Amino acid sequence: MLLNLALGVATMALCLALQIALLTRSLLYYAKHQSELNGASYFSSMAILSGVMFLLMFGNLGQIAIWAALFQFLGEFNNYETAFYHSAVNFSTLGYGDIVMSDQRKLLGPIQAINGVLMVGMSTAALMTTLRDAIKQSRHGWTAKRTEHIRELVDQNK
């Protein structure tokens, strides 16, 4: 049990380092493109936010890959594809139960699930922060235009 805890905590630390690196990179990407949001179209704004989302998503997929490599290194799975699938199920807390690890290593599953909740939470917080900022930046841009258009449509139906 102690070995599993040590392996889990070490893997969580590695995943946190990757998460911080890609979180920082995604926020730098957003900061670099932030000035383009002033008066930007809806699609331009969504393109910038999509870039942030994809960087964060790659971070989460990278963490799933790290856990899968650990599972395969420990001999839990014969091939990497199965290890990656099982890791994705754990990381996302789906818990299908169609593939399970040995009794010796099963504690790693909940540890990875805790890691996944925390890291997906960090990604969500970063994405929502950039979305909120993008909306503020484009108050007189696409948000205001869409609001006016919606009001016109509502008024026509009265």
State residue 111's pLDDT score: 95
Q: What is the mean pLDDT of residues 134-151?
A: 63
Taking alpha carbons only, the member of 59, 47, 27 closest to residue 127 is 27
Taking alpha carbons only, the member of 115, 121, 129 closest to residue 52 is 129
User: For the chain, what is the mean pLDDT?
Assistant: 88
Report yes or no: 91 and 115 within 8 Å, Cβ to Cβ: yes
State residue 69's pLDDT score: 97
Take residue 100 and report the two structure tokens written for it: 């399970």
Q: Quick check: pTM over 0.75?
A: yes
The DSSP code sequence of 53-110 is HHHHHHHHHHHHHHHHHHHHHTTS-SSHHHHHHHHHHHHTT----SS---TTTTTHHH
How does residue 42 score in pLDDT terms, banded at 50, 70 and 90? confident
State residue 34's pLDDT score: 83
In the predicted model, is pLDDT for residue 72 greater than 80? yes
C-alpha distances in angstroms, 27 versus 38, 42, 75, 135?
18, 20, 37, 16
Report yes or no: 31 and 134 within 8 Å, Cβ to Cβ: no
Cα separation, 72 vs 78, in Å, equals 7
Task: Return the residue matching tokens 């993008």.
Answer: 134
pLDDT digits (tens, 9 = 90+) for 110-126: 999 999 999 999 999 99
**Higher pLDDT pick, 39 / 31:** 31
C-alpha distances in angstroms, 60 versus 39, 57, 64, 84?
32, 5, 6, 12
